Amino acid sequence: MSRFGRTGPPDITDTYSLLVLNVTFRTTADDLFPYFDKYGKVVDIFIPRNRRTGDSRGFAFVRYKYADEAQKAVDRLDGKVIDGREIAVQFAKYGPNAERIQKGRIIESSPRSRSRSPRRRHRDDYRDQDYRRGRSRSLDRYDRDKYGRERDYLHRSRSRSVSPDYHRARGRGRYYDEHRSRSHSMDSASPIRRSPSLHRSPSPQRSPSPRGQNPDRLSREGRSPTPLGISSRGRSADT
């Protein structure tokens, strides 16, 4: 017994599922087990993770055998700092198959007639098989929005300095990276971000020069002859 949920859900008929949020990306079910096991009988612990990268998504599901124990765990572990991060424990609102859940217990097992709640997010696209199938003009709107924002960020970046909005907008870097890996849309953005580079550097000759391979640099360090052949460098150093 090293890992929970290794063989799928054991029995979710009389178990109460707890949703643990804010857990660290490196926290495993085994790490959460002792914390929750102290407050009741833990039937199973499952941490959803990316199928490609295998990284944890940042939350876990803890199933208790009794509701009172689960409630106690929620009251005691909610706000508990684990692995340097404050976790949030609460009863699960949705079941494994999006069934209706009451107090963590599944009261419905056939959600075929149930409409989906607006819980979908960017991180939900981790299921490549699903998102690839449903990728229509619906997601096109996101692409257009993303490009528009990125272009704006580039515009401001080379204009003067980086903005705090950049740090906030770089949230789903991983998700974006996965998408642009299989997409050729990057070509359209390449010349855009490469243009300002050429404009910013008035001396394109000193660009492709690693360390110690440039004799010109050695000459300058040896005696500093400052060849007047280059106007950009000469003007900068002389003045």
Partner DNA sequence: GTTGAGCGTT
Q: Where along the sequence are the contacts to DNA (CB under 7 A)?
A: 5, 7-9, 12, 17, 19, 21-25, 44, 46, 48, 55, 57-59, 61, 63, 85, 90-98, 101, 106, 117, 119-121, 123-124, 127, 168, 170-174
**21 dihedral zone (left: phi>0; alpha: psi -120 to 50; beta):** beta
- Other Cβ atoms within 10 Å of 11 Cβ, number: 10
Q: Tokens 């097992």 identify what position?
A: 109
Q: Minimum distance from CB of 223 to DNA (Å)?
A: 38
Q: How far apart are CA 147 and CA 70, in angstroms?
A: 45
Q: Which is nearer to DNA, 109 or 201 (CB)?
A: 109
Q: Minimum distance from CB of 116 to DNA (Å)?
A: 9
Question: Positive or negative, the Cα torsion across 114, 115, 119, 125?
Answer: positive
Q: Which of 120, 23, 99, 117 is nearest to 62 (CA)?
A: 23
Q: Which is nearer to DNA, 32 or 106 (CB)?
A: 106
Q: Minimum distance from CB of 133 to DNA (Å)?
A: 15
Q: Which is nearer to DNA, 17 or 233 (CB)?
A: 17
Q: Where are the beta strands (DSSP E) in 79-153?
A: 81-82, 85-86, 88-91, 101-102, 105-106
Q: Minimum distance from CB of 230 to DNA (Å)?
A: 33
The token pair at 3 is: 């890992």
Report helix, strand or coil for 197.
helix
Q: Which of 5, 8, 72 is nearest to 36 (CA)?
A: 72
Q: Which is nearer to DNA, 7 or 188 (CB)?
A: 7
Q: Tokens 């404050």 identify what position?
A: 86
Q: Which of 57, 28, 70, 58 is nearest to 45 (CA)?
A: 28
Q: Which is nearer to DNA, 9 or 196 (CB)?
A: 9
Q: Which is nearer to DNA, 16 or 233 (CB)?
A: 16
Q: Which is nearer to DNA, 117 or 239 (CB)?
A: 117
Q: Minimum distance from CB of 106 to DNA (Å)?
A: 7
Position 80, amino acid: K
Q: Minimum distance from CB of 238 to DNA (Å)?
A: 37
Q: Minimum distance from CB of 34 to DNA (Å)?
A: 18
